[in-house]
Structures are given as structure tokens and as C-alpha cells.
């Protein structure tokens, strides 16, 4: 075989697939061949015959063991026989990218809901059906904090769930019995070198996006044939497609003919090079069953300059004039020379999440760091184009803002919701869902938080690092408006924590004159809730916001989880993560969190000192992002349109009835890991009691596509490495 082949190591068959030539077998002969080979135990050749019988091309393996393969991603990406060409010429755009699509053929496609046909009563219960622990390695290896289930996707046809591990593995969970799901170790496959980002299954194919080890370089999407229950074969490697830097999400359209890829393109800072920041973009991949799928890149550059974007309310973490201030006038030792020299506005735009319209005419692009959503239009008249960008706006936490306030007081162990005059927050949505209701598009956003940090520059800082107790500005060369000073002093009088976080990006600071910036408002990061926007002819209109629901209702139902936190930094000392990570800072943080004399607890849940349980971290996130919403999905259960929302650090789930999208109603609040009240993650994991920690991947399945034939939701805990299935009960 050749000296280089993709390192897709099949644990059971013990071969590394490098398909290079079609296998030509007549369908009838192929069927006889399958039976004979399978009965003889030759699973690899049986799998080849399965593909041939289905009329697909299968290219035989050319290496026998991992030793014959290289894990050099750079070499892999240079293999032109497998890589797609990124076309920029409009003339090269095929009909599949020009012709609008209608209807959602695949399970999980964007819904089109008719409220006139809605049932009268919503679900009466939402309960746990099952939970499975997923390995972080290729069919093996268990432990908290390893990112064993960063992203999941469910194949309703085969009843297999795919769980993507941060450690470079794709595992398969069998839901033939939804009460007792089981990992299928022999179906597990490894991935090329890089950081796995997302997984989706659609139309018999599995798509996995992977960012390159150097995030400034192009990432890629690995395409597999889906596991086949009837033939007893797992995912089989087909090809690899080059895409943009850090492909954070992949999303097929309704009929699985086009795969959209969100290329976040984040910046990277080093002392040697300073800041280097690639552009964000969206790739559209088609001809997905071919040896070399094609790619069309949609640029965001046409959305405008810094000035244009700022006029629209788009948040820029570090616009060009801000870079000038921080490098030349702030007194900080930062090097933005390279970034300023190559700067364009789209280096500040970073696609995070995607959503297709139900009719396929539009692709919505969530720009988390920018607190905005861009729209890509599909038309017969021109190539796919980013036509507009709309701000998600600021959330007003004063009395006139329509909320009951927020808790920014850390350490008092209470739910202290206060309305603060002149205090705002960017929604900074992470997850996003799109639904068509009565013919109109609505976008739901899970308003988490985000910020940028480059060298000595930090976008999100403690308020008392910017303004002192008298309202004097502490940043060199920066002034503040009277309103800002008044709001700051009022906050202190109302008991706001001096450590509450405020931002220094474009929504808070006017950098028009980089020599004399002006702090124009106090802006925190994270909307602490769910928002619903209606697509209008020229942008987005806020239809509804959850206000203070998440903090208020979470505190009422689970006061021990109020604005608490659990993540990988609470992993056990000398556990799998601690022993395997090469991140020295993470190791030091784990040591601190397990030391009762510093940030640890006297009892981690097993009577011994260790990391604190969630129940001992109440209020830890209050000055920061509070109940940070991370994921949101939409689906139909019991004839009603529902939205399911999760929080990142607390592991809570909220179910809303959004049949009336202008007046949603909260139905259920559930905690995904009740054991975390008294047990830290390591103790709970070892006892088999841990639920979902960091539930960032959520899948809604309707009754027709559910493994139990009842509508339900899969919750995947990235750090816990667990996947649970919850069911709705109809009245």
C-alpha cells in the first residue's frame, strides 16, 4: 500500500481504510458474496460487498495495521485524490446550491409547524428513560473530563447514536432497547489528528468535523458510511473534505444533499507572532457520495466594514481602532501588528452555529462572539450569498427592561435577583434552533456568554478593574460617560459584587478615537436565558425573551444548583484527565480544586477531601454568566411545539411550550445530574450516578423517529461522557 493513508483504525477488523479503487460486483453476486464472507468471519470484505450490493463504490483497504499509516494531518490534507476543491467562482456553483429546497425529509430537519393543527394540551411529564456511559477512546477507556461525548447525532433508521469524543474517537451506541442502550465497541473508529468538533448523520452518511492542530489552518470533514444494523457493520471511511479553520458545526439540509460547515476561524496569540486572526466563513459541501465532494465557500466580507457592522449593532470584540488603542495607548504589552496589517472586518466575525430554514431558501449563521446572526440566501439567480447580519441586541437589567433582575452577587449563597439601572448584557448565543411557524421563520437562541483574550488583552474584566468606588476610570486614556459612572455607583449601593464582569468590546467602549476611548455603557456578557426572534424582511425582531426565568426557576426547583459550576476542572486528582493532559494550567487548577485548603471541599461526596460537589458551589457563576444557557432544540411532542434548553455549568434543563411563539410557557425544569448535589464528578462517576455535565449537545426526536416510539430528548454531557434519553408523557 502507499506510505500515507488516513488513520481510520477499525478496532474490530484491525485494518486501516484507504479506499483507492472501486470494487465492481454485480448486485446478485454481491448478495451471495456477503452471506458467504460474513459467515466465514470476513467482516471487512462483507462490508465491501454490502456497499457494492447497494450500488455504491467501495475502495479496498491498502494497509494492514496502524504501523503502515501516518497520522500526519498535513500530509492527509495534501492527498488530492481524496480532497475537495474549494470553488470560489460563481460559474462553478451547481444547481444543487442554486435551487431552493422545500420540506424536511430527514429526521431532525427544520420543522414547519401549523398552529391550527396543534393539540389542546401539552405533555404532562418529562422523565428519564435511560443513561449510558460512553468511552472516550476507540470503544474503550472511561473517565470524567475526557470529553467522551462532545457531540451526538441519532440515526433513527438504524437506531444508532453516534458519540464524538474529544480524544479522537467516534463511538456508536445501540438504542434497539431504549431502556438499556449499549455501546458497540467493535463499531468504534478513530479520527485523523486534530480536535473533533461536531458529528451529524444524514441519508446514510456520517459527517465529522475536525479542526487542525494549528487552529489557523484549514480543518476538514471526515465522511463515513453509516453503521448498518442488518449487516452488522460499523461506520466505514469514505473520504475527507478540506474546509475552513476550526469547523465548529456541520449541518445537512433537509434532503441531505448539501452539508453546511461553520468555520469559526478564531484568532491565536503568541509572544513571537502576536495576534493572527483568520476570517470566518461558511462552507457548502455537495456531491457528498462522490470520491471528491465539492466545496463552495461563502465569504462574510460582504456584510460590511467595522463602521457598517457597528451601525447595525453588531458586537466586535476587537475592532481595528480598538487594536490601535490597546497596542499604542493602553500601556499594555500586546502585539497586534500582524493582525492590524491584514485586518478586515470578517476576521472579527466567527460562525458558531447554523440553522436551515424549513424551505431551504436561507441558512442562518450564529455569530456568537458578535452577538449577531447572519443570513445566507439561496436563489436560482445567483450563488449563495451572505446578504445581511442582524444584532441580537442588548438585554436591559434595569426596571424598564422587563425582567426581575439578575444575580451578580457571589458568595451570599442566595438567589439575589436585582434590577440594576444602566446595566446590560450581550446575549452572546451559543446554540440556536430555527423553526417555521405558520409560514414565518423564528430563531431561538440559547444565550450563554463569550469573550476574547489575546495576550495581555482581556475583553471581559472585573468591574472594579475599570472603575473604582468613586467612579474614576482606571484604564489609561479612557473616560466614562456620566451615565456609566451613575450606573456603577448605583450598582454598588444596591450591593452588586465589585467582581461582576463587564466587557471592553465595541458594545461597551467607543473606540472612534483610539487615543481617547469612551466607556459608554456597562455591558456584561451572556443573556442568561432563551430568546425567540422573528425573521423580517430586513432583519430580526425580538418576539420573546425568558427574562429572569432561568435563575428564578432553577433556584426554586434546585436551590443547591443556583449559579453553581461543574466542569473538567473538578476532575479527580490523579484521575484519567489529570494523568493524561499535557495542559499544565489545567493540572494546576485540578490540584487547587481538590485541595481543601484552597478551593476544594472537606467532603467530596465519599467522606474524603476533594473537589467540591455542585451543591457546594452555589453563586460561583453569579458575577460572571449566571445560569448560562448552552443548547436549545425544537420539536413536536403530544401535538405541541416545544423548546428544550440546557445550562452549561449547572446541568439544568428547561422545557417550554412555544406553540404560541410570542407567549411561551414553561412546562418543566429538570436537573440532569441530581447526584451532583452531594457528590463531586469523580465520586459520582465512579459510583455510576453522574448525570450530564456540560450538556452542549441535545437531540429532539419526535414519536415517529424515537427509539421508544414516544417523543423524547437525548442529552449529551461533554465532560461527564454520558448520554441520557428522556421521554415525554402525553395527557
Q: Using the predicted structure, report yes or no on whether residue 35 has a pLDDT greater than 90.
A: no
Instruction: Give the pLDDT band of residue 105 (cuts 50, 70, 90).
Output: low
Q: In a 10 Å sphere around its CB, with 0-12 CB exposed, 13-18 middle and 19+ buried, how is residue 406 labelled? A: buried
Half-sphere exposure of 570 (CA within 13 A, CB side): 29
Strands 274-276 and 518-519: unpaired
pLDDT tens-digit profile of 454-470?
999 999 999 999 999 99
What is the three-class DSSP state of 65?
Answer: coil
pLDDT of res. 31: 39
Can you say whether the dihedral through the CA atoms of 29, 30, 31, 36 is positive or negative? Answer: positive
Q: Does residue 197 register a pLDDT over 60?
A: yes
- The DSSP code for 534 is E
What's the whole-number mean pLDDT along residues 306-325? 98
Query: Per residue in 326-379, pLDDT tens?
Result: 999 999 999 999 999 999 999 999 999 999 999 999 999 999 999 999 999 998
* CB-CB contact of 413 with 400 (8 Å): no
- Asked if 260 contacts 283 with a C-beta cutoff of 8 angstroms, the reply is yes
- Provide the edge-to-edge strand list for the sheet that holds 509-510: 479-480, 518-519, 509-510
Work out the angle between the directed axes of helices 27-40 and 43-53 (0-180°, nearest 10). 160
Give 629 or 55, the one with higher predicted confidence. 629
What is the pLDDT confidence band of residue 20, given thresholds at 50, 70 and 90? very low
C-alpha cell at 139: 470503544
The set of residues, in sequence order, having a beta carbon less than 8 Å from that of 637 and lying 6+ positions away, is 122, 123, 702, 703, 711, 712, 728, 730
pLDDT band at 23 (very low <50, low <70, confident <90, very high): very low
What's the distance, CA 426 to chain centroid? 18
CA nearest 514: which of 330, 267, 718?
Answer: 330
Flag whether pLDDT at 11 surpasses 50.
no
Band the pLDDT of 14: cuts 50, 70, 90.
very low
pTM above 0.85, yes or no: yes
Give me 159's grid cell: 437506531
Q: What is the 3-state secondary structure (H, E, C) of 149-173?
A: CCEEEEECCCCEEEEEECCCEEEEE
> Is 236 in a helix, a strand, or coil?
strand
Q: Give the ranges where 267-359 is alpha helix by DSSP (H).
A: 306-311, 320-328, 337-341
Tens digit of each residue's pLDDT (9 = 90 or more) over 377-391: 998 888 999 999 999
Q: Take residue 184 and report the three cell numbers written for it.
A: 458497540
Quote the pLDDT of residue 92: 66
Residue 102: its pLDDT value, please?
52
pLDDT digits (tens, 9 = 90+) for 206-253: 999 999 999 999 999 999 999 999 999 999 999 999 999 999 999 999
pLDDT tens per residue, range 426-440:
999 999 999 999 999
Reported confidence tier of residue 530, pLDDT bands at 50, 70, 90: very high
* Secondary element (H or E) of residue 50: helix 43-53
What does the pLDDT read at residue 3? Answer: 31
Predicted confidence band of residue 99 (pLDDT cuts 50, 70, 90)? low
Residue keyed to cell 473520504 = 239
Q: Domains, the chain, ranges and CATH? A: 111-571+611-729 (2.130.10.10)
pLDDT at 27: 40
Note the pLDDT of residue 101.
54
Q: What's the pLDDT score for residue 74?
A: 36
Amino acid at each position: 500500500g502507499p506510505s500515507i493513508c488516513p488513520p481510520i483504525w477499525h478496532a474490530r477488523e484491525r485494518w486501516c481504510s484507504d479506499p483507492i479503487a472501486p470494487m465492481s460486483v454485480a448486485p446478485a453476486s454481491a448478495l451471495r458474496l456477503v452471506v458467504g464472507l460474513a459467515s466465514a468471519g470476513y467482516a471487512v470484505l462483507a462490508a465491501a460487498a454490502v456497499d457494492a450490493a447497494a450500488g455504491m463504490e467501495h475502495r479496498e483497504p491498502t494497509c494492514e495495521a496502524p504501523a503502515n499509516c501516518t497520522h500526519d494531518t498535513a500530509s492527509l490534507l495534501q492527498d488530492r485524490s481524496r480532497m475537495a476543491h474549494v470553488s470560489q467562482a460563481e460559474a462553478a456553483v451547481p444547481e444543487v446550491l442554486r435551487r431552493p429546497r422545500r420540506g424536511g425529509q430527514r429526521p431532525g430537519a427544520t420543522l414547519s409547524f401549523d398552529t391550527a393543527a396543534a393539540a389542546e394540551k401539552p405533555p404532562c411529564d418529562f422523565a428519564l428513560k435511560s443513561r449510558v456511559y460512553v468511552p472516550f477512546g476507540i470503544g474503550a477507556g472511561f473517565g470524567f473530563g475526557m470529553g467522551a461525548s462532545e457531540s451526538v447525532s441519532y440515526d433513527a433508521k438504524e437506531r444508532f447514536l453516534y458519540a464524538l469524543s474529544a480524544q479522537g474517537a467516534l463511538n456508536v451506541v445501540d438504542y434497539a432497547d431504549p431502556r438499556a442502550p449499549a455501546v458497540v465497541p467493535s463499531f468504534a473508529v478513530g479520527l485523523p489528528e486534530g480536535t473533533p468538533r461536531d458529528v451529524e448523520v444524514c441519508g446514510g452518511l456520517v459527517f465529522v468535523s475536525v479542526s487542525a492542530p494549528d487552529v489557523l489552518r484549514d480543518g476538514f470533514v471526515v465522511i463515513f458510511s453509516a453503521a448498518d444494523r442488518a449487516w452488522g457493520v460499523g461506520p466505514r471511511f469514505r473520504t475527507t473534505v478540506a474546509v475552513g479553520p476550526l469547523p465548529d458545526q456541520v449541518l445537512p439540509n433537509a434532503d441531505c444533499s448539501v452539508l453546511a460547515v461553520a468555520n469559526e476561524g478564531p484568532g491565536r496569540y503568541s509572544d513571537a507572532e502576536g495576534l493572527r486572526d483568520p476570517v470566518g466563513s461558511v462552507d457548502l459541501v455537495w456531491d457528498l457520495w462522490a470520491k471528491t465532494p465539492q466545496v463552495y465557500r461563502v465569504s462574510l466580507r460582504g456584510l460590511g466594514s467595522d463602521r457598517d457592522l457597528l451601525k447595525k449593532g453588531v458586537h466586535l470584540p476587537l475592532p481595528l481602532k480598538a487594536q490601535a488603542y490597546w497596542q499604542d495607548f493602553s500601556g499594555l504589552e500586546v502585539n497586534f501588528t500582524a493582525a492590524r496589517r491584514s485586518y478586515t472586518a470578517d476576521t472579527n466575525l466567527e460562525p458558531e452555529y447554523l440553522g436551515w430554514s424549513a424551505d431551504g431558501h436561507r441558512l442562518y449563521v450564529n455569530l456568537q462572539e458578535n452577538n449577531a446572526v447572519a443570513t445566507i440566501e439561496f436563489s436560482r439567480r445567483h450563488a449563495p450569498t451572505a446578504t445581511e447580519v442582524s444584532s441580537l441586541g442588548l438585554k436591559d437589567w434595569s426596571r424598564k427592561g422587563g425582567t426581575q433582575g439578575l444575580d451578580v452577587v457571589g458568595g451570599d449563597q442566595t438567589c439575589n435577583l436585582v434590577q440594576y439601572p444602566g446595566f446590560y448584557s450581550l446575549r452572546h448565543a451559543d446554540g440556536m434552533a430555527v423553526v417555521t411557524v405558520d409560514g414565518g421563520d423564528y430563531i431561538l437562541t440559547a444565550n450563554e456568554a463569550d469573550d476574547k483574550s489575546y495576550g495581555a488583552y482581556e475583553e471581559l474584566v472585573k468591574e472594579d478593574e475599570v472603575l473604582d468606588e468613586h467612579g474614576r476610570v482606571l484604564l489609561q486614556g479612557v473616560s466614562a460617560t456620566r451615565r456609566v459612572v451613575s450606573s456603577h455607583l448605583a450598582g454598588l449601593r444596591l450591593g452588586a459584587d465589585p467582581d461582576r464582569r463587564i466587557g471592553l468590546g465595541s458594545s461597551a467602549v467607543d473606540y472612534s478615537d483610539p487615543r481617547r476611548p469612551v466607556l459608554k455603557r456597562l455591558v456584561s456578557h451572556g443573556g442568561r436565558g432563551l430568546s425567540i426572534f422573528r425573521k423580517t424582511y430586513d432583519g430580526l425582531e425580538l418576539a420573546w425573551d425568558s427574562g429572569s426565568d432561568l435563575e428564578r426557576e432553577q433556584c426554586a426547583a434546585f436551590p443547591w444548583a443556583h449559579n453553581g459550576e461543574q466542569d473538567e476542572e473538578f476532575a479527580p486528582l490523579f484521575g484519567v484527565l489529570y494523568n493524561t493532559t499535557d495542559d499544565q494550567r489545567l493540572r494546576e487548577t485540578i490540584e487547587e480544586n481538590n485541595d481543601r485548603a484552597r478551593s476544594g471541599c472537606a467532603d467530596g461526596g465519599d467522606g474524603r477531601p476533594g473537589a467540591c460537589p455542585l451543591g457546594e458551589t452555589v453563586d460561583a457563576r453569579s458575577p460572571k454568566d449566571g445560569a448560562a444557557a448552552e443548547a436549545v432544540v425544537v420539536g413536536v411532542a403530544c401535538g405541541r411545539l416545544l423548546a428544550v434548553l440546557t445550562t452549561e455549568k449547572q446541568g439544568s434543563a428547561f422545557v417550554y411550550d412555544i406553540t404560541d411563539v410570542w407567549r411561551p410557557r414553561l412546562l418543566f425544569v429538570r436537573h440532569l445530574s441530581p447526584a451532583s448535589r452531594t457528590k463531586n464528578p469523580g465520586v459520582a462517576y465512579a459510583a455510576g450516578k453522574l448525570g450530564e455535565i456540560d450538556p452542549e449537545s441535545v437531540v429532539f426526536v419526535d414519536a415517529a423517529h424515537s427509539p421508544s416510539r414516544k417523543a423524547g430528548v437525548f442529552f449529551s454531557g461533554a465532560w461527564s461522557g454520558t448520554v441520557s434519553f428522556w421521554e415525554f408523557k402525553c395527557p
